[in-house]
Amino acid sequence: MKKLSLYIISCMLVILAACDNDFESEFDLAPDERAAIAVNEFKDALTSSEHGWLTHYYPNPTKLGSFTFHFKFDETGTVNMNWDFSDFSDESKYSVKMFEKPVLIFDTYSKFSKMTDPEIGEPGKGFGGELEFSMTKKSADGDTLYLAERVSGDPMVLVKATAETPAQLREYAKHTKHIERANEQVVVPFYFNLSVEGWDTKVNMVYSGDKIIAFLNYVDNGEAKHELMPINFTHEGFEFHHALVLNGIGARSFKYDEAKNQFDVTDAGVTGTFKYEADCPAHIEGMTDKFFGPQTFGGDAKIVSPKLANLIDGIYPDAAFSYFSTSTYVASWFPCTFNLDFADWNSLKIRVNYNKKTEDIVKMEFLGYEPYWSAPLDDLAYIEGLMSTEKGQAILDIVASPKGWTIVPIELKEYGSSYYLVSNEDPEMYMCFGLTYEDDE
């Protein structure tokens, strides 16, 4: 028994000695030495990729979508970069310094600095991003680096780029144009609807290109929902910031099928498609009162579907059609007008009442015409002559259709909201109030 006890004690002493040796191997270095090792390991990881790193960076995912960057860090403290907005390479000085942990710092102004520039984005705040990142972990194969913003802790994931990455980055723009519907050439119905096997509802998506955000309208358990969803683009299509889950099935990633002009779901085990359709899957309450009720502001619609633009163009012989507008305080001042504005700054003003047909459908009741201050559209007889033609009557039939126009919200705010008006007579005719895309780059 004594021999057994001595044997157990001896084993324990051996184990304790081994643990003590391990402890000493990790902690017998001075704090400055340990910090230097950690900093060098971070720098080695950043410079380890031959073709650099790709990241979809969300500077403020509660308000903005992703800006995609291609970084290539060198050992001299310079990072070369490009992004998806425009093909123009740039560089910044960078450093890795030890604070509570090793931190990557973008030291000089570059494209990436725009994520924090207070003169860009939200006044005084910029896009809400950061320029300092700690590394939280590295994948086992070293192909992915998981970083976190130093202050907020929001993630930035770096994935090893390939030789094809620079060319693929230029593919993002075409998918942006597909879903923001700017300069759209193909005549399709307005509603961009997602159907997924196992869902009992469709999800309509409208896109705000100035903020890289999708707004999703759908019905869940009988309740109409309007949800903000930041997105990032890929060379094949786009991705949601996080999966949209309905009936326990999530959809996040989408690949463009050019032959069918649709985006197919690519998530494993999920089958679904974004298609252009004529049916609105969700009707949002309060839209007519918000945009066309008493003391509501008018605005300009400078994004117009090709079919509707073609219908208007040519009605006025002196200049091309430019955009639509509604009068300020559309339902408070008289007369209310719906305006066809032309490239020579003239305007054909149709007098209407904006009547509430449903919570999200407004009907324009035709009352006549309002002469403009500039010739020749200051002459009522001249206006009536234009609108008595076959083209003029076709325009009036759409504008004042008894079926009205569905209001599809994009971004809803107290001031400066944006929305589409979609013709219920012909859903291939629509216009967007509040967005222009003129300053995307």
DSSP state of 367: E
pLDDT, residue 183, reads 54
pLDDT, residue 70, reads 97
CA dist., res. 253 & res. 430, Å (int): 27
CA dist., res. 4 & res. 186, Å (int): 87
pLDDT, residue 331, reads 60
- All domains of the chain, ordered by start, with CATH? 42-169 (2.40.128.370), 172-277 (2.40.128), 287-433 (no CATH)
CA dist., res. 423 & res. 429, Å (int): 6
pLDDT, residue 262, reads 93
Burial of 264 (0-12, 13-18, 19+ CB in 10 A): middle
Please tell me the pTM assigned to this model: 0.83
**Cβ–Cβ contacts within 10 Å for residue 4, how many?**
8
Which residue blocks in 209-333 are alpha helix, DSSP H? 287-292, 306-312
Amino acid at 41: E
Q: 342 is written with which tokens?
A: 């032309």
pLDDT, residue 417, reads 85
Residues of the chain with pLDDT below 70 are: 1-29, 124, 181-186, 328-334, 436-441
CA dist., res. 52 & res. 66, Å (int): 19
Q: 409 is written with which tokens?
A: 């919200």
pLDDT, residue 242, reads 96
Expressed in angstroms, the distance from the first to the final Cα of the chain is: 84
CA dist., res. 169 & res. 91, Å (int): 17
Under a CB-based contact definition with an 8 Å cutoff, are residues 158 and 55 in contact?
A: yes
**Cβ–Cβ contacts within 10 Å for residue 279, how many?**
10
